[in-house]
Every structure is written in C-alpha cells, then in structure tokens.
Amino acid sequence: MSSSHPETSHGSSSVASEAEPWPQLMEQARALDDQLARVDLSPSACARIQSRLDRQAARYGEGGLSVGAWAGLAFGGGAAAAVTLLWLIDESPREPVVESVARAHVDGFGLLSRDCAVERNGDAVELGRDCHVRLDDLGVEMRVLAASSVVPQPRGVRVEHGWIVFDVEPVIPGESPIHVSVPSGRVDVLGTQFVVAVRDGGGQVELVEGKIAFTNLAGQTSRIEPGQRVAWSASGAVSGSGVGGSGWTTTIDAAPPVAASPIDQAGLDGPVTAVESDAASQSGTKRRSVRKLDDKRVLAEALEDVQRLRAVRRYRAALRRLEQIRRQVRDPEVREVLEYEAGTLLESSGQRQHACTHWRQHLRKHPDGRYRENVERRLQALGCG
C-alpha cells in the first residue's frame, strides 16, 4: 500500500503510511466506549481530557494529525477513542490511560484494583491494603499501602489514619487546588505524587514529585519540594529535619513558620550555619560549610533531574543519575537523601527484591536517620522478610 499513496504537501509519504491503522484504531477505540459509558465524566474530567487533547494536537498536528481530527475523535468517536489515542501515540513509556477506567464504583470511589475491601463507616470510608482507587471528578488516584480511613470532601479527602500514595492530575488553571487534610494541617496539591502516613494522630507527608504546600492549623503555609517531608506528632508539633543543620520541632500554638526538609532551603539562600557567618570562625570550618552548601546545591539540581526522569518512568536513568551524584558529594545528609530516593525508584520500577535489600542496607547505614520510620513501613509493605 505504501507505494500507491500520494505524498502530502509536506513532501513526504510518512504521514500517509501513519494514517493506515486509523480505521482499526477507531474500531478498537469505540469498542472501549462500553467501559467508559458506565463512568459518569464530570465537567472537570472532560476539561482535563480536552486540555490534554489540545496539548497533543499542538505536538502532533504538524505530522499530519490536524486539530480537527482531534476534535472529531474526542467528541464524535467517544471518550474512549480519545483516551485510547492518547495511549497509542504518546511517546512517553507510561501505562495506558485506559487502565485508569474504574471497574466499579463504591461510596464515590472508582475501584482500579480487582481485590479491594471498601466499607462505609459513618462519614469515613475504610480502604483495605493494596486498594487502588480513583476519585474521577478530581483526577485523584490513591494506592493504599496499609489499611486506611478517609473522609471524602468537596475538593479532596481527609486522611484519618493509614498510609497512602496519592497521584493527582495537574489542576486546570483557575480551579482551586486539591486538598488532602491530615490531623495537624492540610496539603494543597496542584498535580503531583506524594505519600501521606497517619497513625494515632501523628504522621508525615513526603513529596515524591510535583508541587504541594503544607498549611498548619495556625494557617501558616510552607511549600514542600521533591524529596522533602513535613512530620507532625499527636500533640500538634510540626517538624522538618535538617533546617539549620540540626532539625527543629515547634508547636503550632506558638505560630512558628513551618519549614521543610531534607534540603536546607535556608542554606541555599544564605549562611549554612551561624558559625560560617562569624568573622572569628576558623578557615577549616568555613571550607566544610562551603562544601556542605555546594553539596546541597548539587542535591537540589539532581532531584530536579530525577523528578523529570521519574515522570516518564525512566527509572534506570534516574538511578544512574543518583549514583553519579552520590559519588560526588560528601555531606552525609545529602547522601542519605540520595540513597532514600534510590530506594523509592527501585520500588517504582518493580524491583522488589532489590528494593528490600536496599532498604535493609539503608537502615544498617542510617539506624537513626530521618527516614527510619518510613523505611520500616516500606519494608513491611513490600513484605520483605
């Protein structure tokens, strides 16, 4: 068929050859409409689909796929056709979008996993371990790593207890953020992946990638960067380790600014320690402080690179980047962060045994490290013996 197709105005027959599977594609796509017909798409969900269609149209339009074709596909061939097309032509090695179509809906949650125990308990919804659910109206997916209890809210959920990985689609400009409430504050989400752990009123929020902000009960907000976390205790104390090199814990009643870690943001913009700014400090201390600051700058750049690679599921490349940086830095806090990030990448890439080995080594190397409790939970969730 390829020799008989006329060339396009671009002077290439590649567009024509690419168009050949379209009838089959449309047939497969429309066949999926039966699945999507059982899911009520909200206006915001439709807007998210259209937003992505617009971006893909701009990306592929010059290759022979016109904006008109996108519109006809999205609103003529059905939503399944649109979703399937995004799956088939997206160059990023990611899971098919169609896999996010819920098999059933229980108490407002779309079930994405086959075996998921869901039970209503007053206002709360109890989710069993290994549940994978979706709030379609908000574009929020939740992977439950330990039995959890959540309360649905208009623009998010409140986590009463449990351990959940949240994956939130980018919020459409003009819409309010997604909110994930915890006992000592609220996480405002603009599109990201992060982990929430709550137990007996205490817990922590750890950002994997994207953008979130944590607001404490006094109304003070702090932006959290990838690789950072904020923790709180049942007494209402909010903490972030690494600030000023020694960590901190303060009570909300005192209305202090909330800080985040492990990257020492204060150190990036000013003196690393009070000693460094002291005119009487010795030159050896200054050199160590400057080196520590340089290591943290390198860490910030490395985490940005890893975030981009993680977003497109290039886990091996991200691991190589972390190892490259780990060999360059000397600061033990920075090395601990890099090693922790490597463990999360091993989990994401499905290398369970390697992840178990890595986390055991991490605990032996950092028995009192900032991630100890989180690593112990990860070992338990992975079923590491």
Model confidence pLDDT, tens digit, residues 45-64: 555 555 555 555 554 444 44
- Residue 322 exposed, middle or buried by CB count within 10 Å (0-12, 13-18, 19+): buried
Task: For domain 269-382, give the CATH number.
Answer: 1.25.40
* Distance between start and end Cα atoms, the chain: 58
Residues 265 and 223: beta-carbon distance below 8 Å: no
Residue 113 has pLDDT above 70, yes or no: yes
Over residues 226-235, the pLDDT tens digits come to: 777 788 877 7
Q: What is the pLDDT of residue 157?
A: 93
Q: Look up tokens 């590649």; give the residue.
A: 14
Strands 109-111 and 132-135: antiparallel
As a whole number, mean pLDDT of residues 292-308 equals 69
DSSP state of 257: P
pLDDT for 265 equals 29
pLDDT category at 32 given cuts 50, 70, 90 is: low
Q: Residue 87's pLDDT band (boundaries 50, 70, 90)?
A: very low
Q: Tell me which long-range contacts 87-90 makes (C-beta under 8 A, separation of at least 24).
A: 88/25, 89/56, 89/60, 89/65, 90/56
Does the pTM exceed 0.75? no
β-sheet bridge partners, residue 249: 239
Do 269-382 and 104-257 have the same topology in CATH?
A: no
pLDDT given for residue 180 in this prediction: 93
Alpha helix positions (H), the chain = 14-19, 22-31, 33-36, 43-60, 67-76, 79-89, 265-269, 274-277, 283-311, 315-328, 332-348, 352-365, 372-382
Write the pLDDT tens digit of every residue in 138-160.
Answer: 888 888 888 899 999 988 999 99
Q: What percent of the chain has pLDDT over 70?
A: 56
Considering the segment(s) 104-257 as one domain, its CATH architecture is Sandwich (2.60)
Give the start-to-end residue ranges of the domains of the chain: 2-100, 104-257, 269-382
pLDDT at 158: 93
Exposed/middle/buried for 297, CB within 10 Å: 0-12, 13-18, 19+?
A: middle
